[in-house]
Amino acid sequence: MSNRVDYIDQLARESARFADAIGQAAAEARVPTCPDWNSDDLLWHLGEVQWFWAAVVREGVSGDEADKLKPERPADRAGLEAFYQQASRDLGEILAASAPDAVAWTWSDDDQTVGFIRRRQAHEALIHRIDAELTAGVRTPIDAQLAADGVDEALRVMYGGVPDWGTFTPDPARTVRFLAQDTGDSWHVTLGLFTGTDPDGGVSYSEPDIHAAEKDSGAKTAAEISGSAADLDCWLWHRPTLGPIQRSGDPDVLGDFDAAIKPGIN
């Protein structure tokens, strides 16, 4: 699916749309989808995220090493805007100049490449563009192909990824088909249980989880969730949709799916 999306182009577009939307919001305006933040906090967040990933690729360092290089937050809106614009340009340039298969640190246990960063940052900019528009009281469309790829990333990477210290135990009887009605993309999602103990913090987990197959085989599922690709992407990220999400099938399976994604994506 990812070969249908030009991540460098979409990163530039979504980053510019974010800047336009955030520029329409007052500095102290609350972000409805991130209630602990105001508009300036959101601007700083995406700026520091884009700065961080540019530093990881440009300097060839780990996340911890990049954090040590992070600059101080600018004191006012003008400084934040200048920082964001520079960070956004730098990220686009370094990702465009690096091959997708070039090795780079990421938080993923499965993918340590620039390609992973390209994809993740295109979707990071998209979701925060939506946050900025909601803060400013405007809403513009989402590219359908980018949204479908966002659904794929949300289901298979952001929710469905399993760290090397954990185990996912599937329940083959509890399955959901996700269907993007406008693009025709679909995903076969299996519910199950995630267990394991995080070696960094010593926290043990035993909680509902999901796993989406790379390709939907078309096998019968216990339930189905459908809508436009954009609405499904927003819904998975706990952002407001513009259209309805249709749900059918086993209500217990649908409820278990809701429980699995309730914590959201950090």
**Could you give all domains of the chain from N- to C-terminal order, each with its CATH number?**
2-140 (1.20.120.450), 145-261 (3.30.1050)
What mean pLDDT do residues 84-104 have?
A: 98
Query: Is it the case that residue 55 has pLDDT exceeding 90?
Result: yes
- Residues 112 and 103: beta-carbon distance below 8 Å: yes
Output the pLDDT for position 177.
Answer: 98
Output the pLDDT for position 161.
Answer: 87
Output the pLDDT for position 154.
Answer: 97
Output the pLDDT for position 255.
Answer: 96
Query: Is it the case that residue 260 has pLDDT exceeding 90?
Result: yes
**What tokens does 230 get?**
């954009």
Output the pLDDT for position 33.
Answer: 97
Query: Is it the case that residue 266 has pLDDT exceeding 80?
Result: no
Output the pLDDT for position 200.
Answer: 87
φ and ψ of 55, to 5 deg: -65, -40
Output the pLDDT for position 2.
Answer: 53
What is the share, in percent, of the chain residues with pLDDT greater than 90? 93
What mean pLDDT do residues 153-165 have?
A: 93
Residue 56 to residues 24, 73, 110, 158, 209: CA-CA distances in angstroms?
A: 31, 19, 17, 20, 30
Range with the lowest mean pLDDT among 17-26, 148-157, 207-216, 237-246?
A: 207-216
- Using the Cα atoms of residue 95, residue 16, residue 135 and residue 126 in order, give the sign of their dihedral: negative
Query: Is it the case that residue 225 has pLDDT exceeding 60?
Result: yes
Rounded-to-integer distance, Cα 129 and Cα 236, Å:
16
**What tokens does 205 get?**
């987990």
**What tokens does 158 get?**
């952001």
Query: Is it the case that residue 119 has pLDDT exceeding 80?
Result: yes
- Residues 252 and 208: beta-carbon distance below 8 Å: no
**What tokens does 84 get?**
């964001």
Query: Mean pLDDT of all residues in the chain?
Result: 96
**What tokens does 111 get?**
């993918």
In the chain, at which residue ranges do the beta strands (DSSP E only) sit? 166-180, 186-197, 204-212, 223-227, 246-249
- Residues 234 and 241: beta-carbon distance below 8 Å: yes
Residue in the structure block whose two tokens are 């913090």: 201
pLDDT in tens, 176-185: 999 999 999 9
Residue in the structure block whose two tokens are 């601007």: 43
What mean pLDDT do residues 200-222 have?
A: 93
Output the pLDDT for position 1.
Answer: 58
CA 13 distance to own-chain centroid: 16
In the beta sheet, which residues pair with residue 175?
190
